[in-house]
Structure formats: structure tokens, C-alpha cells
């Protein structure tokens, strides 16, 4: 248990019976949730963690073979659940964590109650009639930039994904988060994220799912949210009238209210 908690820098807040687990996205860490956590303190035990390679996780245990697919990250989530003996978990995942949470719930549906996806995508690459938002060339160019000039990549990418017009502070925070990660690990996580394809897994999802999408998102177009809603049987789809890929940073109150409205409905 202690090894798992140290590995993923697990933090548990509160001692309520109901559990909500927040999972950060690519290039980020658990601090990204700090603005919406207060909205859930009265009713939930809150579980936070960092994926290996992010935040204050134990970098010494990083294994390139283990984390060559999302399966390694799924295993870590399940390890945390088992170490803390959690049940009826509400899993809130941002971006790639949405798929990680879904895959974990497919493996262990008895320990997950609901899944909230913020800016999710089962596949980022365009494919025949499927529009994911990126061509393969786009991803290779991004990976090349990460390898040649990692800090430059972070500075270039952050304003794009954060939609800076009204929230320049969000872009600065995302850039700082990107820049603070291990370049080699982050590049591999990017490859795993952007070349993954979990469309065939959607029909295996059995727990209730809330899909939250921003109306303008440079990473995940609206068509992807619609695709997820169409292919996940027990799902609800909510579009926020905001820009960017990080509504929990730019619009924390609205994001928290959407989640609470879904969780508290009869």
C-alpha cells in the first residue's frame, strides 16, 4: 500500500463515505483540480494522485515498457483503488484520463459507480469517416518539436490548448506544468495518448458516464464528444459554452456545477 501511495503521490482529503477520484490529463498533475475540490468537500472523500512521470510521483519506478500503452496507467489506477480499498468510486478524468478511467471501469465495474469525462477522446487521429481532429503528420511534427526543443514546445502549445484570450493565467499555468515534466517520459506519454485508439472499447463501458465538452477545443472537436455519446450506451453529453481544453481551470465553478448536477440527479 505505501509503495503505491508513494509511487503515485496519492492524497486523500476527508473521511466521507462517498468517494470521488480526480485524474489529471497529459502534461499536468493533481494540482489542476484545486479550484473545484472545495465544491465536493462536504459530501465526498477526495482522492488525488499523479501519474508516474507527472507532478511529485516517483520517477524512479518509471518503466517505458509498462507505460507503452494506457494499460500501464490503468493498472496504476486500479492499484490505488485496491490499496485504499475504495468502492463505488466516482472517477473524474480530464482528457486522456477519461479513457484511462473507462478502461479501469471496464476491468473492475464493481468498484466504480460513475465516470465523468472532461474533454475526452477515444482517438485523436482522423480515420476514414471518423474525425478526431489531427492528421498523423500533425502528431509527428509535435513529437519532433518536443524532442528538439521541449521548452519551446511547451511555450508554443500551452496558449493553443488553453485558449488564452480571456484566461492568459491558465496558459501560463499549463506552460509551467508542461515545462516541469520529464521530457523523455512526457514524449512517450504523448505518443501513447495521441496514437491510441479505444473506439472499440466504448461499447464495453457499462457504468453511467457524463461527457463534458467545451464548445471550442483545439484538442477535441465537438464531433468527438458526439461520437462518444453515440457509442457509450449509458451516457449524457453536456457542452460548455466556453473555449479551451481546461474548463476546470478556466471555469471551475461552471465545471463543478455540471458535475454536481449530474451526480445529484435522481
Is 97 one of the annotated active-site residues of the chain?
no
Catalytic one among 94, 167, 245, 251? Answer: 245
Catalytic one among 24, 54, 79, 95? Answer: 95
Sorted by where each begins, the domain ranges of the chain are 2-122+198-264
Is 43 one of the annotated active-site residues of the chain?
no
Q: Give, for 177, the enclosing helix (H) or strand (E).
A: helix 168-180
> pLDDT digit string (tens) for 202-225?
999 999 999 999 999 999 999 999
Q: What long-range pairs does 146-150 form, CB within 8 A, spacing at least 24?
A: 146/183, 146/186, 146/187, 146/190, 147/183, 147/187, 150/179, 150/183, 150/186, 150/187
DSSP secondary structure, 115-132, as one string:
EEEES--SB-B-BTTB--
Listing from the earlier edge strand, what are the strands of the sheet with 11-13? 11-13, 45-48, 19-23, 89-94, 112-118, 209-216, 235-243
Residue 117 — pLDDT band, cuts 50, 70, 90? very high
Residue 70 — pLDDT band, cuts 50, 70, 90? very high
Q: The domain at 2-122+198-264 falls in which architecture?
A: 3-Layer(aba) Sandwich (3.40)
Catalytic one among 217, 235, 248, 250? Answer: 217
Is 250 one of the annotated active-site residues of the chain?
no
Calculate mean pLDDT across residues 61-75: 97
What is the pLDDT, as a whole number, of residue 145?
Answer: 95
Q: How confident is the prediction for the chain on average, in pLDDT?
A: 95
> Has residue 256 got a pLDDT over 60?
yes
Amino acid at each position: 500500500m505505501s509503495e503505491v501511495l508513494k509511487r503515485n503521490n496519492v492524497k486523500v482529503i476527508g473521511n466521507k463515505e462517498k468517494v470521488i477520484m480526480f485524474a489529471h490529463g497529459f502534461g499536468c498533475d493533481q494540482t489542476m483540480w484545486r479550484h473545484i475540490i472545495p465544491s465536493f468537500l462536504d459530501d465526498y472523500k477526495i482522492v488525488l494522485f499523479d501519474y508516474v512521470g507527472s507532478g511529485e510521483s516517483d520517477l524512479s519506478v518509471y518503466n517505458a515498457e509498462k507505460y507503452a500503452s494506457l494499460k500501464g496507467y490503468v493498472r496504476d489506477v486500479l492499484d490505488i483503488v485496491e490499496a485504499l480499498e475504495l468502492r463505488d468510486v466516482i472517477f473524474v478524468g480530464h482528457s486522456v484520463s477519461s479513457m484511462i478511467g473507462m478502461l479501469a471501469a471496464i476491468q473492475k465495474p464493481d468498484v466504480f459507480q460513475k465516470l465523468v469525462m472532461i474533454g475526452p477522446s477515444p482517438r485523436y487521429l482522423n480515420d476514414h469517416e471518423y474525425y478526431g481532429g489531427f492528421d498523423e503528420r500533425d502528431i509527428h511534427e509535435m513529437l519532433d518539436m518536443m524532442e528538439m526543443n521541449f521548452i519551446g514546445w511547451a511555450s508554443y502549445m500551452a496558449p493553443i490548448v488553453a485558449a488564452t484570450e480571456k484566461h492568459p493565467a491558465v496558459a501560463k499555468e499549463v506552460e509551467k506544468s508542461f515545462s516541469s515534466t520529464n521530457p523523455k517520459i512526457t514524449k512517450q506519454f504523448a505518443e501513447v495518448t495521441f496514437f491510441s485508439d479505444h473506439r472499440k472499447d466504448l461499447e464495453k463501458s457499462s457504468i453511467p458516464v457524463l461527457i463534458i465538452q467545451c464548445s471550442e477545443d483545439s484538442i477535441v472537436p465537438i464531433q468527438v464528444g458526439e461520437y462518444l455519446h453515440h457509442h457509450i450506451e449509458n451516457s449524457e453529453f453536456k457542452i460548455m459554452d466556453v473555449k479551451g481544453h481546461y474548463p476546470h481551470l478556466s471555469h471551475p465553478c461552471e465545471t463543478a456545477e455540471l458535475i454536481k448536477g449530474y451526480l445529484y440527479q435522481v
